[in-house]
Amino acid sequence: MVMPSPALEFLRRLSLKRPALILLPFIAWGLAIYQTTHEAFRSVTATLDLRITGKWDSILSSSQHTLEQQRSIQQHYLSYGVYIPIDDIVVDARQQLMGPMASLMPKVCGSGRAFVWIPLPLHIPLVGEKVIEWCLVKA
pTM summary value: 0.71
Which residue from 122, 104, 105 is spatially nearest to 114, judged by alpha carbons?
105
Q: Which of these ranges, 5-14, 56-65, 80-89, has the smallest mean pLDDT?
A: 5-14
Compute the distance between CA of residue 127 and CA of residue 88 in angstroms, rounded to an integer: 27
Interval 35-59: pLDDT, tens: 888 888 999 999 899 888 888 888 8
| pLDDT exceeds 80 at position 15 | no
Q: Where are the domains of the chain?
A: 39-138
Per residue, the 3-state secondary structure of the chain, as one string, reads CCCCCHHHHHHHHHHHHHHHHHHHHHHHHHHHHHHHHHHHHHHHHHHHHHHHCCHHHHHHHCCCCHHHHHHHHHHHHHCCCCCCCHHHEECCHHHHCCCHHHHHHHHHHCCCCEEEEEEEEEEECCCEEEEEEEEEEEC
Q: What is the pLDDT of residues 81-124, one digit of tens each?
A: 999 999 888 887 666 656 666 667 777 787 777 888 899 888 88
**pLDDT given at position 75:** 94
Residue 113 sits at φ, ψ, to 5 deg, of -105, -10
Q: How confident is the model at residue 19 (pLDDT cuts 50, 70, 90)?
A: low
User: How confident is the model at residue 1, as a pLDDT?
Assistant: 53
Q: How does residue 14 score in pLDDT terms, banded at 50, 70 and 90?
A: low
